[in-house]
């Protein structure tokens, strides 16, 4: 291989700033996370495989509790959910927000208190609502006008369900247009601009089966500054003041959603959680003081920021190909276990582990094994020039929205999740096998 033909990269090739705090260097190019060698994980459990650092998850939960001591912190289950994750979140004092009967029932059967769960969703199915009411979730977030009558009818005249109204505040924020949810013209919530949110609030207040506890909003994902949150907070407090003036009702809760941005590659920005918490508290106190409102209890919903940096994906290199000036490094996973690059251009920083290379670095494109040209995991990966089949690549910041969004494309089977903690590795979610795939096919 001729290294000179490719840009040499040295500045951040050995940067571990994105990795879990427990990450340690081992001899011969190895890395350990949670006291467990990544190469040993790959040998023991095969690849592709997801490694989740329990200590990192727990520490990030504690960081949120410390930053928001008076607020309610709900872990956004859609980022990644398993029975172990449910237990860790519960033990660290967080609540849960869920988006389906599946997430809800897994959490409750794993022992999570249903009264500390909030149900979201722009199109809740009868099963979603039925499970929520049967299990006794704490709150249901109303996302559209039709849900008001549906939920009230399901509750019945003798019942009462706590609900919130999801407001679209008219603020654009987030790292990609497909994950910006705070503006009009997308599927979530009720518009503040056209009066839909105000009308929904009036209807909810007129239903004795429903108890309106507050307002909810979520403006996008991968937000790295506090500015948009502060604009939205002031608009939401303004709406709470108008509700007080029009209906004589003072709402006790304000849910500001999540979307807290993290870095996926060295040098990328991340949201300063401590600064966000301080600025939100100040702005909330000032806005409520100006409106003569009591300060509502604040809720935040981190998902990615809790579990994303705690995960590492491991892949085995299957082939290296030079085509038209590009070096393609093909691995044994791809878009079936991580669709984020194909969906909205997510970027990662893969790293060679388990072997020390003395070769220079070059830019390569790491691709998956699937029959799609868009099956690209990292378009400008910085890898040793002598990367070869059999090598092990590790991708940090892999804990969120990868396995939870995995598919059955090409019947490859979804990877397992292995928890590492204090030198021990254990299976949380087993690998999906060919028997699993065949078992669902009952036609003939």
Tokens of residue 100, six digits: 């389906």
> Which helix or strand (DSSP H or E) is residue 144 part of?
none
Cα–Cα distance measured from residue 416 to residue 421, given in angstroms and rounded to the nearest whole number:
16
Greatest alpha-carbon span in the chain: 77
Tokens of residue 137, six digits: 């979730």
Cα–Cα distance measured from residue 89 to residue 62, given in angstroms and rounded to the nearest whole number:
10
Q: What is the DSSP string of 366-427?
A: EE-SSS-TT-EEEEEEEEETT--TT-EEEEES-SSSSGGG---GGG--PPPEEEEETTEEEE
Contact (CB, 8 A) for 172 and 185: no
Cα–Cα distance measured from residue 119 to residue 96, given in angstroms and rounded to the nearest whole number:
9
Counting beta carbons within 10 angstroms of the beta carbon of residue 437, is it exposed (0 to 12), middle (13 to 18) or buried (19 or more)?
middle
Side-chain-side CA neighbours of residue 37 (13 Å): 14
β-strands 190-191, 161-168 pairing: parallel
Q: Which of 99, 246, 288, 371 is catalytic?
A: 371
- Give the residue among 18, 20, 37, 19 at the shortest CA–CA distance from 28: 37
Cα–Cα distance measured from residue 96 to residue 77, given in angstroms and rounded to the nearest whole number:
7
Neighbours of 356 (CB within 10 A): 12
Neighbours of 357 (CB within 10 A): 15
The yes-or-no answer on residue 246 being catalytic is no
Cα–Cα distance measured from residue 180 to residue 98, given in angstroms and rounded to the nearest whole number:
19
- State how far the alpha carbon of 439 is from the alpha carbons of 337, 375, 417, 429, 433, in Å: 20, 27, 21, 18, 10
Cα–Cα distance measured from residue 236 to residue 219, given in angstroms and rounded to the nearest whole number:
12
Residues forming the active site: 371
């Amino acid at each position: 291989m001729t290294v000179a033909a490719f840009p040499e990269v040295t500045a951040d090739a050995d940067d571990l700033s994105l990795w879990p705090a427990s990450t340690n260097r081992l001899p011969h190019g190895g890395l350990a996370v949670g006291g467990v060698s990544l190469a040993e994980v790959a040998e023991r459990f095969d690849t592709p495989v997801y490694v989740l650092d329990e200590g990192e998850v727990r520490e990030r939960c504690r960081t949120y509790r410390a930053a928001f001591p008076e607020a309610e912190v709900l872990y956004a289950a859609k980022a990644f959910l398993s029975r172990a994750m449910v237990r860790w979140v519960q033990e660290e004092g967080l609540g849960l927000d869920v988006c389906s009967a599946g997430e809800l029932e897994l959490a409750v059967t794993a022992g999570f208190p249903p009264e500390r769960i909030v149900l979201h969703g722009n199109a809740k199915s009868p099963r979603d609502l039925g499970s929520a009411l049967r299990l006794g979730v704490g709150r249901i977030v109303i996302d559209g006008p039709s849900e008001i009558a549906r939920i009230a009818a399901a509750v019945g005249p003798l019942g009462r369900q706590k609900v919130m109204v999801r407001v679209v505040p008219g603020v654009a924020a987030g790292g990609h247009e497909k994950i910006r949810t705070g503006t009009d013209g997308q599927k979530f919530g009720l518009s503040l601009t056209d009066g839909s949110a105000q009308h929904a609030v009036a209807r909810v207040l007129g239903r004795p089966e429903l108890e309106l506890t507050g307002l909810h909003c979520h403006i996008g994902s991968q937000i790295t500054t506090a500015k948009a949150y502060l604009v939205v907070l002031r608009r939401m407090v303004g709406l709470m003041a108008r509700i007080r003036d029009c209906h004589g009702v003072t709402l006790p809760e304000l849910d500001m959603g999540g979307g807290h941005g993290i870095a996926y590659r060295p040098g990328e920005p991340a949201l300063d959680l401590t600064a966000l918490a301080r600025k939100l508290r100040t702005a909330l106190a000032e806005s409520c003081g100006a409106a003569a409102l009591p300060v509502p209890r604040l809720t935040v919903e981190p998902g990615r920021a809790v579990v994303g940096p705690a995960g590492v994906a491991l892949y085995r290199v299957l082939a290296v190909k030079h085509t038209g000036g590009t070096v393609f490094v093909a691995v044994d996973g791809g878009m079936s276990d991580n669709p984020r690059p194909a969906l909205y251009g997510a970027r990662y920083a893969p790293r060679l582990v388990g072997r020390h290379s003395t070769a220079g670095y070059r830019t390569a494109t790491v691709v998956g094994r699937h029959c799609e040209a868009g099956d690209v995991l990292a378009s400008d990966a910085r890898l040793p020039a002598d990367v070869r089949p059999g090598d092990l690549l590790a991708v940090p910041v892999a804990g969120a929205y990868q396995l939870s969004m995995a598919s059955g494309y090409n019947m490859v089977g979804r990877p397992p999740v292995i928890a590492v903690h204090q030198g021990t590795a254990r299976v949380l979610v087993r690998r999906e096998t060919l028997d699993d795939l065949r078992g669902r096919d009952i036609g003939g």
